[in-house]
Every structure is written in structure tokens, then in C-alpha cells.
Structure 1
Amino acid sequence: MGTRTIGIIMNGVTGRMGTRQHLIRSIVAIREQGGVDLGNGEFLMPDPILVGRNEDKLKSLSEKYSIERWTTNLSEALSDGNNVIYFDSQTTSRREKAIKQAIEAGKHIYCEKPTSTSLEGALELAKLAKEAGVKNGVVQDKLFLPGVMKLKRLLDAGFFGDILSVRMEFGYWVFEGDWQEGQRPSWNYKKEEGGGIIVDMFPHWRYVLDYLFGSVQALSAVAATHIPERVDEEGQTYKATADDAAYAILELENGVIASVNSSWTVRVNRDDLLTIQVDGTEGSAVAGLRDCKTQHKVNTPKPVWNPDLENTIDFEDQWEKVPDNQVFENAFKIQWEMFLKHIDQGENFPWDLLEGAKGMQLAELGLKSSEKRCWLEVPSLEV
């Protein structure tokens, strides 16, 4: 009984996502609550070492959040036997090489997605981890958003009857960087640096669709670069070489059709930056990041198409909110605690490097479909 520590190498936590979600809202939050409750009177306390290229940023983070260990030398951190987990939230182009080093050093792997810049590289990581016998996991944070968890509750309750279709809308307007600073880093718009909304978001859509509605069988996609020039962090104009919007139709198992629009060039006129509408024979639901609303078939209005008459139905008012019924924690923190229990207690954690490779597979097929203007089958993957 009591508290035990577990050493975690956190590489890339000086970046936006690494700092906010993985360090502050996950690891620091777990430390402040006294560790991960293992349910047997014991607690598992993360003991992170921050790794990156910028000494000043590392030192500042360590001082601000009372983390004693940091280094710019990854090899040094990997050689320390007290560090049993390697976590990577670097830019995608740096991830594959570092994970290979960590696997070779015998560390368990937890990382952001995409796990590599190519399907070939992602599959190789899964294969190497399997051969080395190290446990591994990939961040699948959208599954643990409150709105999506409420949607899963409806699915588990059989609310929809037979599911017919899924409509996903994601995105917002990212400023070009000239008269107003952009909200995303410039590398997101450079194909040569691993940028593009398909590579960034299709790995998310793969696990959301697979886990909630059924495995993706085929897709047709169109990628676009709507804004051809942007201005970077130094005020320099550059050519956007990566897609900033993508429009896809996907066939899922059981005949479900999913339409997925992803865009950094859209102004939001919906409930949230991400909305997922599910239509079934018995009812429908729309989930956002935090909320979820439903409309059962007995509460469905009966509109009649007549453009010559004013519409008298308030369609928005016809939906009911799904209650919270529980306390929802940060999505990243939830999965961190699950992964730590997986490492220490052997609890189930299905989102491994092979699942991460499936995300990169969908991204590559999406780009290929757009280039070839064709439907593509999604073959099964294994290592």
C-alpha cells in the first residue's frame, strides 16, 4: 500500500499540445491529485523528465510546475533505467526516429498521432514494438470528449435503432497571418514538413468511426488548398503546399455512410467546432465537444417542402440535451490514466501502434483518392 513512482520521458512538451494537454492538464493534474488510483490502496505517481531542444523553455516549465528533471539529451534520458515509458508529442517528422530509439532502449511507448509521416513508417513502428515486447499506445483523445462519451452512451443503449448515416463537420477559420496572426503553426500548411488537414485529422476520424460506428471499408475524398499563400511566424509570406480542407464520403461496415468535412477555411455556424450527427431508424443525435442532443422518432416534426410559405417549425427547439450524469475529466488525462494502468496493472488498452497506423493508412488513402479522383478500398492491416 502507498505510492509508487513511474518514470516517464516526455519529449516535445514545449509545443502547444504537449504543454497544455499532456503536461499541464494530464501529468501535472495527476501529480496534484496524488497519482493514479490503482483501486487497491496504491497510487502510481508519474515522475516525468522533460525532453526538448530549447533549454529555456524546459527550465521554465520545470520551475513553473515543480518538475525536477529535464534535459536536451534524449539518449541520456533513454539510458536511465528508472524511466520506463517514452512519450512523444514532437512534430510528426521527428517522431518515428525517436520512437525507434526508445523501442531499442526497451521503453514502453505512448505517443501522439500520426505516429509517422507514412503508413510504411507507422507499420514498422508497430512491428518493432511487437518484436521488442514493449507495451505501446497512441493518443485517441476524441473518444474521451464529454460529447462523444454521451454519444457512446446512446449507442450502447441502442437509442438509434439501425444506424443509417453519420455526418461530421470539423473546422474553423484559421487566419492567414497577414492582418491577423494565424492560430496554427505555419508548418501545418507545408506538405514537405508533414502538414495538411488530411494528415492531421484523418487519423482522428479513423478511430472515431471505427470505434463508434464500424470499421471503414472504402472512401472517396477531395483535398483542397483554398488559401494559396500565408504569412509565417516571422512575418514572411510563403506558399501553402498542403491541403487546408478535405471533403470525404466513407463506407462503413453494416452499410453505414459517413460524410466528413474538415476545413481550416470555414466560418462556424453550428453548435461547436466539431459536430457529429448520427441518424438512425429510431432516432438521431448531434454531439459536439461537450454536449449531445437527441431527437427520437416520436418527437420528430413533419415538415413539408413549400418555398412559397414561411417555415413555422423551430427545428433547433425540437432537440433534447443528453444530461451529464457524471463528472467528465480532461480527455487526454483520462487516456493517460488508462495507459499508466495498462503499463502497471496490465489493464486493457486497445489503442496501440497498429491502431495508430490505421489512422495514417486512411490519410494516405484520402490523399491518393483526391489525386486519382476515385473510390478506394481500405484493406485490413496487420503486423
Structure 2
Amino acid sequence: MTRRTTIGIAMNGVTGRMGYRQHLLRSILAIRADGGLDLGDGRLLWPEPVLVGRDEHRLRAIAERHGLERWTTSLDAALADPLTEVYFDAQVTPAREKALRAAIAAGKHVYTEKPTAESLAGALELARLAREAGVCNGAVQDKLFLPGLLKLKRLVGSGFFGRILSVRGEFGYWVFEGDWQSAQRPSWNYRAEDGGGMVLDMFPHWRYVLDEIIAPVRSVYAHSATHVPVRRDEHGAEYRVTADDAAYGIFELEGGVVAQINSSWAVRVDRDELVEFQVDGTEGSAVAGLRECRFQHRAGTPKPVWNPDLPATEDFRAQWQRVPDNGEFENGFRAQWELFLRHVATGAEYRWDLLEGAKGVQLAELGARSAREGRRLDVPALEL
């Protein structure tokens, strides 16, 4: 007989786009819509969210929209509730560290968006506090669960590439300035004082993608820029951009692999997907995006010849094959939520803890320093 076990989750930041769409709607509420999470031991885990935030009207509207009863504007009240076992944070970055500290002190298991803190010292302190408190802890590393990158990891694991030589990544799109068309990202993303900035936003992602799929990052050289210096906010008011909106990074990985990743909110897309990584190796190459992954083996590599006096006649894209799905892929945020909840409920293995999250903050901090100083910096190993 299946027994239903309820787990209370205080979800802070669900009025934001990412917190609402990916974490509440497509993860926790999706698990509930499917009847709960089967733990495989005769128990069905039922997540009971408590919505936390500063805006009472928006919280109430979300709760009413989805038939949820519990919400509060008091983080202290949410953490004091004995029914709350997990605290989740999707707030703006400057508010995150203090809230996570409070949750750990209250004995709650913690799961958080990245970056886990504004500084490496803060991120490491959070990891240390969680370890000393003996609470389960995790950092969101959603891109590892994207279908395209799962397929790429499958190729790497099979030895398809031979010796991997290089990685080239392109990420971003044009974010409207907010004058004649409203911006599709919140204005705080472009204010450094509010935790905005491309390096702080994306380098933590690139850290776990490179570390887990290709090889550990050993050094970084970065250049950041503010390409669009003036924007308009959600109310139409003009403001000066104080954060970088583009970052260009060169990363040396273990084994001599060179990775170059461009990230920009001021680029127009001429790619199949909004993010693409090309991996080249001695035996083959692959291009992975959000959902698709194409490959070309050494034996099927054509022989291009440079001749600028004649028009190109080859369809280069047609010379690649697609990696088949060979299975179903669920939402990446939900997939990681399920792993974390299993970890809390059963003690199942879970490796993306706050120390892993601190590695992303470390790379962002070193990347920002590299951009300021104009030099390559080593990425040392992290320990608590």
C-alpha cells in the first residue's frame, strides 16, 4: 500500500519569472499534478509549497490561481513553521545569502538558484554552515539536464571524440532596450548594485557545464563589456546600465582542452538554438543546443577547400547527423528538483551541493577580476 508523505517547501522568489515558471509551475506543481513523487519504497512524496515574497498582492494572486492555501510575506514566519522542511531561494542575488543563512540556522534543508552568493567567501561560508548543521543542501544546475547537453554527454562518455581539443560556445539574444519595445528581462539584471551582470549570471553555468561534461576548468581569461549603456525599466523610466551585458571567456580545461564561450544580451541570433556548444576532437565533432545535438565522425568528414573566387556549393549543415533522443526528457528544473527531494526524503546520492555552487561563484569572481586586470588567472581547487 502506497503511503503519502507531505514535505513542506518554503519557496522564496516565486513572483519572479524563473521562480514562478520553472520552479513552481513546471516543477513543484507539475509533480503535484502527476500525483506526487514516487520514492520507490512504498511512499509517495507530496510537495506542499509555501509561497514567500515581498509583494502580498502578487503572492495572493499566484496562490489563488493555482489553488494554494499557504503564502506569507514573512520569511521568519515561514522558517519558524515546523511543517516547513525545505527552503528554496530564487530571489535577486543580493538577498540570497542572508536568507539561506537564516534557513540553515533554522535547521531547514536548502536548495537555491545560482549564484549562491555574491562573493566566493560568502558561498563557501554557506557550504560550511550547511555541512556543520547537517542539512541537505543543493544548488540549481539546470543546464546539465537539457536534452541537447545530455546527448552531448552521451557522446563524451562513449569516447566518440577521441581526444577532445576545443569547445566553442555561443549564448544570448537581443534584449530590447525598453523604449519602443519592452525588455524581455527584468531591469535589475543590468544594475550591478542589484546583483546584475553577465559574468555573475552566466559564468556559474559555464563552470558546471564544462566541469561535468568536458573537463574541470583550470584557468580563465575574460573580457566583459556594457554594449547598451542606457535602458528603460518596467515603468518606462530611463536608467544607466551599471552591469556588463556581454562577456567573452577563454577557459583552459584539464588535459589542455581550450573552451571559448561568448555570452551576450546584445546579439541577434543566427543559430539553431539560443545556446550552442561545438566540441571538436581528433575522432569527431558535435554541436549541442538546448534540445538537439548533431555530430560528424572523422570517417564522414568532408574535405573543404578554401577558394574565395567561387561561391560555396556545399551544404555544410547537411553533412552532420542528429543524435537520436532514445528516451524521453522531462523539464530540467523538475528533474533536478526530483533528485533533491529524493535526497531529502531517502538519503539518495546528490552531488550538486553548495560547495559545487561555490565553484560557479569562484569562476564568476575570477572572471570579473580577469576582465578588470586584463590577464589570465588560475582556478584553484576549492575546499571547506
Classify the TM-score, shorter chain: over 0.9
Q: CA deviation at 1:150?
A: 0.9
Q: Give the TM-score, by structure 1 length.
A: 0.99
Q: CA deviation at 1:82?
A: 1.4
Equivalent residues in 2 for 1:166-205, closer than 5 Å: 166-205=167-206
Q: Which residue of 2 aligns with 1:92?
A: 93
Letter in 1 for 2:141: Q
Task: State the alpha-carbon separation in 1 of the partners of residues 67 and 277 from structure 2.
Answer: 39
Task: State the alpha-carbon separation in 1 of the partners of residues 54 and 312 from structure 2.
Answer: 59
Q: CA deviation at 1:235?
A: 1.2
**Cα deviation digits, residues 162-218 of structure 1 (max 9, x gap):** 111111100000011111111111111111111111100001000000111111000
Task: State the alpha-carbon separation in 1 of the partners of residues 18 and 118 from structure 2.
Answer: 18
Q: Which residue of 2 aligns with 1:79?
A: 80
Q: Which residue of 2 aligns with 1:48?
A: 49
Q: Which residue of 1 aligns with 2:321?
A: 320
Q: CA deviation at 1:40?
A: 2.5
Q: Which residue of 2 aligns with 1:354?
A: 355
Equivalent residues in 2 for 1:235-254, closer than 5 Å: 235-254=236-255
Letter in 1 for 2:253: L
Q: CA deviation at 1:264?
A: 0.3
Q: CA deviation at 1:37?
A: 1.2
Residues matched between the structures, number: 383
Letter in 1 for 2:160: F
Structure 2, unaligned runs of 5 or more: none
Q: Which residue of 2 aligns with 1:342?
A: 343
Q: CA deviation at 1:58?
A: 1.1
Q: CA deviation at 1:309?
A: 2.0
Task: State the alpha-carbon separation in 1 of the partners of residues 85 and 130 from structure 2.
Answer: 14
Q: Which residue of 1 aligns with 2:271?
A: 270
**Cα deviation digits, residues 219-266 of structure 1 (max 9, x gap):** 110000011111111111111111010111100001110000000000
Q: CA deviation at 1:310?
A: 2.2
Letter in 2 for 1:98: A
Q: CA deviation at 1:117?
A: 1.1
Equivalent residues in 2 for 1:219-258, closer than 5 Å: 219-258=220-259
- Secondary structure of 1:226's partner? coil
Q: Which residue of 2 aligns with 1:113?
A: 114
Q: CA deviation at 1:329?
A: 0.5
- Secondary structure of 1:78's partner? helix
Task: State the alpha-carbon separation in 2 of the partners of residues 118 and 151 from structure 1.
Answer: 31
Task: State the alpha-carbon separation in 2 of the partners of residues 298 and 271 from structure 1.
Answer: 25
Task: State the alpha-carbon separation in 2 of the partners of residues 232 and 342 from structure 1.
Answer: 40
Task: State the alpha-carbon separation in 2 of the partners of residues 12 and 238 from structure 1.
Answer: 24
Q: Which residue of 2 aligns with 1:289?
A: 290
Q: Which residue of 1 aligns with 2:146?
A: 145
Q: Which residue of 1 aligns with 2:260?
A: 259
Task: State the alpha-carbon separation in 1 of the partners of residues 55 and 229 from structure 2.
Answer: 31
Task: State the alpha-carbon separation in 2 of the partners of residues 295 and 218 from structure 1.
Answer: 29
Task: State the alpha-carbon separation in 2 of the partners of residues 60 and 34 from structure 1.
Answer: 24
- Secondary structure of 2:107's partner? coil
Task: State the alpha-carbon separation in 2 of the partners of residues 375 and 368 from structure 1.
Answer: 9
Q: Which residue of 1 aligns with 2:136?
A: 135
**Cα deviation digits, residues 79-108 of structure 1 (max 9, x gap):** 111111100001111100100100000000
**Cα deviation digits, residues 149-172 of structure 1 (max 9, x gap):** 111111121111111111110000
Give the RMSD, CA atoms, in angstroms: 0.9
Task: State the alpha-carbon separation in 2 of the partners of residues 13 and 309 from structure 1.
Answer: 56
Stretch deviating more after TM superposition (100-109 or 60-69): 60-69
- Secondary structure of 1:255's partner? coil
Stretch deviating more after TM superposition (308-317 or 85-94): 308-317
Letter in 2 for 1:179: W
Structure 1, unaligned runs of 5 or more: none
**Cα deviation digits, residues 292-341 of structure 1 (max 9, x gap):** 11111111110011111222211010011111111110000000000000
Task: State the alpha-carbon separation in 1 of the partners of residues 121 and 6 from structure 2.
Answer: 35
Q: Which residue of 1 aligns with 2:39?
A: 38
Letter in 1 for 2:346: Q
Task: State the alpha-carbon separation in 1 of the partners of residues 81 and 102 from structure 2.
Answer: 13
Q: CA deviation at 1:41?
A: 3.0
Task: State the alpha-carbon separation in 2 of the partners of residues 324 and 311 from structure 1.
Answer: 32
Between the aligned residues of both structures, percent identity stands at 64
- Secondary structure of 1:29's partner? helix
- Secondary structure of 2:100's partner? helix
4+ aligned runs moved over 3 Å, structure 1: none
Q: CA deviation at 1:127?
A: 1.0
Q: CA deviation at 1:276?
A: 0.8
Q: Give the TM-score, by structure 2 length.
A: 0.98
Letter in 2 for 1:345: T
Task: State the alpha-carbon separation in 1 of the partners of residues 16 and 261 from structure 2.
Answer: 28
